[in-house]
Amino acid sequence: MLYYVSGPVAVLEPGLAVIDCGGVGYGCRVTAYTAGQLKLNQPARLYITESIREDAFDLYGFISKEEQRCFELLTSVTGVGPKAAMAILSAGGPQNFTLAVMTGDEKMLTAAQGVGKKIAQRIILELKDKVGGANMELDFSGPTVSTPVQAGNSAALATAALQELGYSPAEIAAALKGVDPKATTEEMVRYALRAMVMKG
């Protein structure tokens, strides 16, 4: 089983990245989200999910474990194949997908090519408990959080989404420090992710 591939990006095309691993090129299907973070001839690491069928052996590459987890959750939903899952993640990345499921935003999901309203509803229904529901009880009593947050508002949803992406409460609190309290959930998530990238 391939866990990840690491090396220079030899080819970068819409939906495809070829990673040169010691002279062997691994062709990976990628989302627009991942492709946007790759640069030709620059080193990269992609986490791999394999899809083996009688007529094909595909490698799906993801820039982060979070995106890979979202892909695997999506393909666990009846009627959602790899192509639809990649389209959904291309449309908004893992953070927007997580927010869409948590808030029941069908429009974000149906914005992806080939995803209809019924599929979007099924995704939300089957995955809401797995990515964290909007009604989940959140603990914001950690030492780095200066003010209590009411579950259900933008900060609560942003924190829940970031936790689902694998960040710790302390990391989230630090990343959201200084964010505009009137910002939308999506703006808060983007703000926090930018802060984490700059820090890293």
Under a CB-based contact definition with an 8 Å cutoff, are residues 97 and 88 in contact? yes
Tokens of 23: 């002279």
pLDDT at 169: 81
CA proximity to 200, closest of 178, 180, 179, 171 = 171
pLDDT higher than threshold 60 for residue 79:
yes
Confidence of residue 153 (pLDDT cuts 50, 70, 90): low
Alpha carbons 162 and 188: distance in angstroms, whole number:
10
E-strand ranges in the chain read 4-13, 16-21, 24-29, 43-53, 56-62
pLDDT for 113 equals: 84
Give the pLDDT band (50/70/90) at residue 81: very high
Across the chain, mean pLDDT equals: 83
Distance between CA 67 and CA 1 in Å, rounded?
A: 19
Whether 149 contacts 164, CB under 8 Å: no
pLDDT at 135: 36
Where do the domains of the chain lie, and which CATH numbers do they carry?
4-62 (2.40.50.140), 65-131 (1.10.150.20), 135-200 (no CATH)
**In this structure, are residues 90 and 32 in contact, taking their beta carbons and an 8 Å threshold?**
yes
Tell me if residue 114 falls in helix, strand or coil: coil
More confident site: 96 or 150: 96
Looking at residue 199, what is its pLDDT? 64
